[in-house]
Structure 1
Amino acid sequence: MSASLTQAMADLIVVFYKYSGNEGDKYTLTKWELKNLLQNEFGESMNAAHDTSVVEGIMRELDDNKDGVVDFKEFVVLVTAVTIAANDFFLDWKKKVLHKNHLI
């Protein structure tokens, strides 16, 4: 495994535990902790994180076992989904730029 991928995985773990345990269990994210994580870590790309109903919807989708909190495994699903969406966005953008410049 490349050092950069190993670092990315370590960073993912560090970010999760930076927000988990501020209230409640240190191994899970409450809705409030998840909201803070989304706002602080995704910044402008996740403007919807300021909307309580959006955060509640994300929480419902992530909380696979319906225990009212998001554990690390459930959190990774969010990161994976956002990463896939970002990849799709950039692939579409690249195709549009290449097409516009008549390179494809």
Structure 2
Amino acid sequence: MEESLDIIINTFHKYSVRRGDRDTLNRKKFKQFMIEEMPKSFKKEEEKEKIINDMMKEVDTNYDGQVDFNEFVALIGNILKTKHEESHENASSSVHGQGSSNGPNL
């Protein structure tokens, strides 16, 4: 788990732009992050731009045109929730509750 946390932090820093004393993702870097790190989020190529713009608006909760680390963490949390729900939808009832291919049953 700790390695996964480091990967998330390092991925943010891979795309972030240093401004003052804060790291942020501007619109260009957010788009680059989404395209490179989340390619399965786009079912159709022509939807990519709209989806990225909509996500940027949703994630940028302080409306400064940037995604700071706290906003990024909220995005990752929402993605994790969605993936978790999908794992339940894709699992058979006989497997549910007995662990999954996504990790141990905690």
| TM-score for both structures, normalised by structure 2 | 0.76
Is 1:90 aligned with 2:87?
A: yes
Question: What is the match of residue 76 of structure 1?
Answer: 73
- Kindly tell me the number of residue pairs found equivalent between the two proteins: 91
Gaps of 5+ in 2: 96-106
Q: How far apart are the structure 2 equivalents of 1:36 and 1:6?
A: 25
Residues 1:40 and 2:36 aligned together:
yes
Q: Cα RMSD over matched residues?
A: 2.2
CA deviation string 1:7-40 (max 9, x = no partner): 111111000010011xx63600011101111111
- Give the helix-richer structure, 1 or 2: 1
1:18 matched to 2:14? The reply is yes
Once the two structures are overlaid, the 10-residue window that deviates more, 24-33 or 83-92, is 24-33
- Unmatched 5+ residue regions in structure 1? 100-104
1 CA distance for matches of 2:91 and 2:23? 39
User: Structure 1 residues 63, 49: closer, same or farther in 2, change over 3 A?
Assistant: farther
Question: Among residues 23, 29, 45, which one is paired with 1:27 in the alignment?
Answer: 23
In structure 1, how many angstroms separate the alpha carbons of the residues matched to 2:43 and 2:85?
A: 19
Letter in 2 for 1:61: E
Does residue 58 of structure 2 align to residue 53 of structure 1?
Answer: no
Give the whole-Å Cα distance in 1 for the aligned partners of 2:84 and 2:55.
20
Are the equivalent residues in 2 in contact too, given 1:35–1:49 (CA < 8 A)? no
CA distance in 1, matches of 2:26, 2:43: 18
The structure with the greater share of residues assigned to strand is 2
